[in-house]
Structure 1
Amino acid sequence: MARPRSFDEPHVIRQAREAFHDHGYAATSVEHLTAATGLSRSSLYGAFGDKHGVFLRSFTQYCEDNAEAVEGALAGDERGARGRLERHLRSTIPVPGAPQRGCLLAKATAELAGEDADVVRTATDFYERYERALSACVRSAQTAGDVRADLDPAGAGALLLSVLRGIEALGRAGHPPATLQSLVDTAMAVLATPGH
């Protein structure tokens, strides 16, 4: 009979994901993971199998947390839907002078997508949820009359997701916040009904 685990598994996974976020997958050593989690190698691998197993649990948790946050930020009444879309887009623009850690999702897919089907599947699931949340918010804004009725909500959601990922990449590359704000202005202008 297996002994019950004597640690808080979600907390340990969250601590492990911080190590992966800081160092990337390949450069994260067992020593990084044991230091971050407070577990021995045998406890860590006994619970999760190996480094890859620890990473997949961490990456899945990261994507789940972020998907829930996006869905929460975009959900709500129809009259406020357009404002929620704009606030969400603007919230991704980096604050000048703030440390730029980058997104674990972007880092992991850049490093592993060509060789790790589990990472690809988890990332794809996340992006599909993100796109659905954006599309649903567009649809709500259309119902309220605040977004053009002739737009396909699914296509608009895909466009907004592309804008969001572009803002992230350009922000990491050091583009000025004013340039990124103008991207949001342009995206919102594409959605706008006449007179908005």
Structure 2
Amino acid sequence: MARTKCFNREEALNKAMQAFWAKGYEATSIQDLVDCMGINRGSLYDTFGDKHSLYLAALDQYGTGALLRTDVLRQEGNPRDILSQFMYVFTQKQVMDPKRRGCFMTNAAVELCSRDDECADRVRIFFEDMEAALRELIERGKSEGEFKSKRDAASLAAFFVGVMQGIRVIGKVNPNEALLRPMVDVALTVLDSE
């Protein structure tokens, strides 16, 4: 007779995500995962498969949560105000993270994507989805005359994703608002440059 699982799958997955996010894929052992998730090895393998499958599931969970936060980019209101607030809040979250974890997706890109196609696909899709939300807002801002840039919205959206990831990486080394905030200040000027 099969034993029933005595743990919440989503909670266990969130704990694994936190472990991978803090230490990276390679440095996180199966024992680290068993300990932090509060489950035995058999339950880990039965529920999530191997370490790599668990890591991919953790990336999926992180991506879903992070992209939900981009819903603010689709709300009604002044596009410039929405984008500015989004970028400054994004920067503030990096400054306020005492563990200096950065972005889990960016960390995955740096650590694994050059040799792990499944990981690379997830990170690519995440960045494409982020760009899409930004592009829609920038298109709206251009059509309303709020943004004067002659550059197309897709290029501007890709630029902002690059700025965001730069803030995450630099913020891991130096989470100083006086350093990071001017990056946003300068990036926002691009919306009005010829």
TM-score (norm 2): 0.88
- Partner in structure 1 of residue 118 of structure 2: 118
Gaps of 5+ in 1: none
Change (3 A) 1:99 1:28: closer
CA contact (8 A) 1:74 1:133 kept: yes
Match of 2:75 in 1: 76
Query: Aligned runs of 1:29-108 on 2, under 5 Å?
Result: 29-70=29-70, 72-77=71-76, 79-93=77-91, 94-95=94-95, 98-108=98-108
Residue 155 of structure 1 corresponds to which residue in structure 2?
155
Q: 1:105 deviation in Å?
A: 1.2
The CA distance in 2 between the partners of 1:2 and 1:112, in whole Å, is: 36
Q: Give the whole-Å Cα distance in 1 for the aligned partners of 2:96 and 2:23.
A: 23
Deviations 1:122-144 (A, max 9, x none): 00000000000111111121232
What's the counterpart of residue 20 of structure 2?
20
Alpha-carbon distance, 1:163 to partner: 1.2
Amino acid of the residue matched to residue 86 of structure 1?
Answer: S
Of the structure 1 ranges 4-13 and 52-61, higher mean CA displacement relative to structure 2 is found in: 4-13
What is the RMSD computed on CA atoms of the aligned residues? 2.3
Q: Which amino acid aligns with 1:85?
A: L
Task: Give the deviation of 1:3 after TM superposition.
Answer: 6.8
Q: In 1, Cα distance between the equivalents of 2:179 and 2:27?
A: 33
Q: Distance in 2 between matches of 1:14 and 1:175?
A: 24
Alignment-mate amino acid for residue 86 of structure 2: H
Contact 1:134 1:157 in 2 (8 A): yes
Task: Indicate conservation of the 8 Å contact 1:92/1:168, yes or no.
Answer: no
CA contact (8 A) 1:131 1:161 kept: yes
Give the match for residue 171 of structure 2: 171
> Which residue number corresponds to residue 189 of structure 2?
189
Instruction: Give the Cα separation in 1 of the matches to 2:90 and 2:35.
Output: 31
Counterpart-to-counterpart distance in 2, 1:135 and 1:50: 37
* SS of alignment partner, residue 25 of structure 1: coil
Q: 5+ unaligned residues in a row in structure 2: which ranges?
A: none
Conserved? CA contact 1:96–1:177, under 8 Å? no
SS of the residue corresponding to residue 92 of structure 1 reads: helix
Post-superposition CA distance 1:48-85 (Å, at most 9, x none): 11111111111111112111212x121112x4221111
Q: Indicate conservation of the 8 Å contact 2:150/2:193, yes or no.
A: no
- Tell me by how many angstroms 1:44 deviates: 0.6
> Counterpart amino acid of 2:132?
R
| Pairs aligned (count) | 192
Partner secondary structure for residue 134 of structure 1: helix
**TM-score (structure 1 length as normaliser):** 0.88
Deviation at 1:182, TM superposition (A): 1.9
